[in-house]
Amino acid sequence: MNLRELAQHLGLSKTTVSRALNGFSEVNEETRLRVVEAARRFNYTPNVSAKRLATGETGAFGVVLPGASAEMADPVFGEFLAGLADGAGRCGRDLYVNATFDGEEAGYRRLARAKAVDVMILANLKIDDLRIRLLSHLGLQTVTCGRTAGSLIYPHLDIDHEDGVRRAVELLAGLGHRTIALVSGPADLSASEQRMVGWHAALSRHGLSAAAHLFTAGPSTEGHGYRATRALLDAPTPPTAFVCASMFLASGCCRAIGDRGLRIGEDVSIIAHDDGLATVRPEAFEPALTTTFSSIRAAGIRVAELAAQLVGGSDPADLTEVWPVDLIFRDSAQAPPRR
Amino acid sequence: MNLRELAQHLGLSKTTVSRALNGFSEVNEETRLRVVEAARRFNYTPNVSAKRLATGETGAFGVVLPGASAEMADPVFGEFLAGLADGAGRCGRDLYVNATFDGEEAGYRRLARAKAVDVMILANLKIDDLRIRLLSHLGLQTVTCGRTAGSLIYPHLDIDHEDGVRRAVELLAGLGHRTIALVSGPADLSASEQRMVGWHAALSRHGLSAAAHLFTAGPSTEGHGYRATRALLDAPTPPTAFVCASMFLASGCCRAIGDRGLRIGEDVSIIAHDDGLATVRPEAFEPALTTTFSSIRAAGIRVAELAAQLVGGSDPADLTEVWPVDLIFRDSAQAPPRR
DNA sequence: CATATCTTCCAAACCGGTTCGGACTCCTTT
DNA sequence: AAAGGAGTCCGAACCGGTTTGGAAGATATG
């Protein structure tokens, strides 16, 4: 059942039926109801390809996966992608996932030339991310999850990692901790830089050391969390508190602390960032982890909405949001042992 | 630059240019070279939407994410998706990811009605998966990663989990283990059933117990691996060897064993299944884990190729593959301690 | 009553490709 | 020399929507 057949059935023109279904004002209300009813009865759905050709919009958002598989194996990114697909679906758009087998830049160029998507979506922004400039140069509209250095204005949603870490460190310092380590994700990520800024700010406010060896960066995995924590505990003045950038890093951190025979909460405190993944819940830890929380799935949904608004003609400058994180008290952050 | 403009530049008709670019035989070789050269020079890329409308093919494969976020938080699924996107790209197709905010079935029906994809791709098949029948009923071609019960014929790639577990158990039994547990993934998954079959087969061949309490199923996470292993170690006759269905389950398994003060390899043996994720490498464990290996990313790429062949008109019955797994010896599987 | 305006609808053009059914040239066959 | 067949190329139709530029009739305005 296509538009022409539907129109014939109704004794109307294609034009009128199209307008009735798309909510134009110049069609009689009575006629519109008749059309909508018939469309429902005949199970009519407009052909996506035809619509795209006619409107010039593709109705799709694009995500490019980096060639290295590391990002997709990251469950946080997967969850973000799920949110994106969810949000896109709600806005009546598709999510087009492109893997780059021949370099990331080539992937973007292909998409731009074929006009395959309306908006590109970028996540895991690097400090001064080159992709933003490339996309702007290619004339592709872009929405990002995260901010980066540089003067270009683009719609984005960011999570306030800086404030999250700042508040976590403030809490630990307030409890009496004097040596507070930051176990962060990949060093080249904008989010990691934000975390370091927050860490520094809170430490200097309390007059505490921000020695370089107390800051570690690396892949956001249990394995790296374990190794980093072991190394930190081996230092001459080991930290009594750890701020971890993800639940996976925190898992490794806990394991390393357990290996040393230390008790979490009593001997050593931990605050982790929780992205809200169903598979690693802070309450399931022993003891339950104090966390900074922000749902990455919700962020994905919202980014898709921002992209839809951008296509709808909103001013990019209005489409920027920074989400605060919640600090949730549980049992893993307590006062350090008396000496 | 579109086809008409390109044709005008060349002094040819749209027809000839289109045929030259698509490799039809009825165009002079000299002309074809001239056309291809001009297309390259003017940076011409056919408009995706127009092509789709004209051919009736969408050029896209579809994946529906289940409403619950659990699957996307699974890094193994994420890696499979990355492989899918990779393979689709190589075949010149798109990958459409659709989240279902209103029920999985509704998502499939939407895609079918709008003719948005050429082939649906299914993963994480359930035992007797209802989705296959639904899609066949909706007239959507389907390719799956995994097999399921039922008589319908559909293109699929499966990984031989049954044989993997069988060989792992044979190895452990050969080393002298008498009580061998299986720590598996979600019980409703077809792969989990395959593993149980392999486990039973190998145990009975060696005259060993396949008592129900030695088999556990649950989410494929570190947390569940930990809890399951603790429970198994608390049994009256605790196992001396564990076969884990994923690296994450194995992580938890290792932690539980460590908590008990047991040494992996010496006191207790482990064999895990490794999907080839870069973030959890078996060599990084202490000691290095003996594994059954099969790259889930490679599987994703191959599934996309199968889908492309299906669209190309291959017989579905020819598009079925079962991949063997490699058994890789490392240090975590050794003879049990003498009593 | 003539004119302007509004409402409602439609025919035809358009988006940018693919493909059917010739048409023309040149070469071979009988 | 006529007939048949490759080898090339083209005009026009088609895919299924949206959108432009009226047109007809109803209603309001002077």
* Stretch among A177-186, B72-81, B183-192, B213-222 having the lowest mean pLDDT: B72-81
Residue A66: the pLDDT is 65
Residue B5 (CA) to nucleotide C15 (C1'), in angstroms, measures 14
Per domain, the residue ranges of chain B are 3-46, 60-159+297-323, 161-295
Residue A12 (CA) to nucleotide C20 (C1'), in angstroms, measures 30
Q: Which residue bears the tokens 């602390």?
A: A257
Specify the DSSP class assigned to residue B2.
-
Q: Per CATH, which fold does B3-46 belong to? A: 434 Repressor (Amino-terminal Domain) (1.10.260)
Q: Which residues 19-58 of A have a C-beta within 8 angstroms of B?
A: 43, 45-50, 52-53, 58
Among B73, B81, B113, beta carbon nearest to A72: B81
> Closest Cα partner for B39 from B23, B52, B56, B25?
B23
- Helices then strands, counting H and E runs in chain B, come out as 13, 12
Residue A67: the pLDDT is 55
Residue A73: the pLDDT is 67
Residue B246 (CA) to nucleotide D5 (C1'), in angstroms, measures 65
Q: What percent of chain B has pLDDT over 70?
A: 96
Does the N-terminal peptide bond of residue A287 adopt cis geometry, omega within 30 degrees of 0?
A: yes
The mean per-residue pLDDT over the stretch A229-242 comes to 96
Q: Nucleotides of chain D within 7 Å of a protein C-beta?
A: 7-21
- Give yes or no for a contact between A263 and A269, defined as CB atoms under 8 angstroms apart: no
Domains A60-159+297-323 and A161-294 share a fold: yes
Full DSSP string of A242-308: EEESSHHHHHHHHHHHHHTT--BTTTBEEEEEE---TTS-GGGSSSPPEEEE--HHHHHHHHHHHHH
A223 inside 8 A of chain B by CB: yes
A55 touches strand C (CB under 7 A): no
Report the CATH architecture of A161-294: 3-Layer(aba) Sandwich (3.40)
How confident is residue A69, by pLDDT bands cut at 50, 70 and 90? very low
CB distance under 7 Å to strand D: residues: A 2-4, 14-15, 18-19, 21-22, 44, 46-47, 50-51, 53-55; B 11-16, 26-29, 31, 53-54, 56
Domain B161-295, CATH homologous superfamily name and number: Response regulator (3.40.50.2300)
Q: Phi then psi for B116, rounded to 5 degrees?
A: -85, -20
A201 inside 8 A of chain B by CB: no
Alpha carbon of A62: minimum distance to chain B alpha carbons (Å): 10
Residue A203: the pLDDT is 97
The domain made up of A60-159+297-323 is a member of CATH 3.40.50.20: no
| CB-based contact B73 A284, cutoff 8 Å | no
Q: Which residues 231-260 of B have a C-beta within 8 angstroms of A?
A: 251, 255, 258-259
How confident is residue A228, by pLDDT bands cut at 50, 70 and 90? very high
Which chain A positions have a beta carbon within 8 Å of B279's beta carbon? Answer: 70, 73-74, 219, 221, 223
How confident is residue A339, by pLDDT bands cut at 50, 70 and 90? low
Residue B105: the pLDDT is 78
How confident is residue A68, by pLDDT bands cut at 50, 70 and 90? low
Q: What percent of chain A has pLDDT over 90?
A: 68
Residue B150: the pLDDT is 80
The per-residue pLDDT for range B25-65, each reduced to its tens digit, is 889 999 999 999 999 999 898 988 899 899 988 888 998 87
Radius of gyration of chain A (CA): 25
Amino acid at site B274: D
The per-residue pLDDT for range A144-166, each reduced to its tens digit, is 999 998 878 899 999 999 999 99
* Residue that wins the pLDDT comparison between B201 and A105: B201
Residue A152 (CA) to nucleotide C8 (C1'), in angstroms, measures 47
- Give yes or no for a contact between B82 and A98, defined as CB atoms under 8 angstroms apart: no
Residue A72: the pLDDT is 60
Q: Is the pLDDT score of A171 beyond 70? A: yes
Q: What percent of chain B has pLDDT over 90?
A: 68
